[in-house]
Amino acid sequence: MKTVDARGHSCPIPVVMVRKAVTAEKPEALEVLVDNQCSVENVTRYGKSQGYSVDVAAEGADFRLSLKK
């Protein structure tokens, strides 16, 4: 499964990275790594706006978001 690693980036960059991956490949499922709460919230909103369900899991100081159609 494709993983977008947006750690080290602050908003709006993580949404832009996920948007690029979704627009280009229209994946059924996608994993996103981010390292701040603002990006968790924004990527969640983006995922839902594109019809994905979004699960968030904390991984140490990072977060893994699982987007599924």
Partner 1 sequence: MENEIKLTKLAKCAGCGAKVGAGVLAQLLEGIKVHTDPNLLVGFDKSDDASVYKVSEELAIVQTVDFFPPIADDPYTFGQIAATNALSDVYAMGGEPKLALNLMCVPEKMPREAVHALLRGGYDKVYEAGAIITGGHSILDEEPKYGLAVTGFVHPERVLTNSGARPGDVLILTKPLGIGTLTTAAKAGLCSDETMAYAVQLMTTLNKNARDCMVKYRVHACTDVTGFGLLGHSVELAQGSGVAIEYEVSRFRFIEEAIGLAKEGLLPEGMYRNRAFAECRVDAGEAELWQQDLLYDPQTSGGLLMAVDPEDADALMAELEGCVPAAQRIGRALEYGGGAYIRLR
Q: Which residues bind partner 1 (CB under 8 A)?
A: 10-13, 15-16, 19, 37-38, 41-46, 49
Radius of gyration of the chain (CA): 10
Determine contact, residues 44/16, Cβ cutoff 8 Å.
no
Quote the CA–CA distance of 19 and 43 in Å, as a whole number: 9
Which CB atom, from 8 or from 12, has the smaller least distance to partner 1? 12
Nearest distance in Å: CB 33, partner 1:
16
Name the amino acid, one letter, at 62.
D
Which CB atom, from 33 or from 44, has the smaller least distance to partner 1? 44
Which CB atom, from 2 or from 45, has the smaller least distance to partner 1? 45
Nearest distance in Å: CB 9, partner 1:
11
Name the amino acid, one letter, at 44.
T
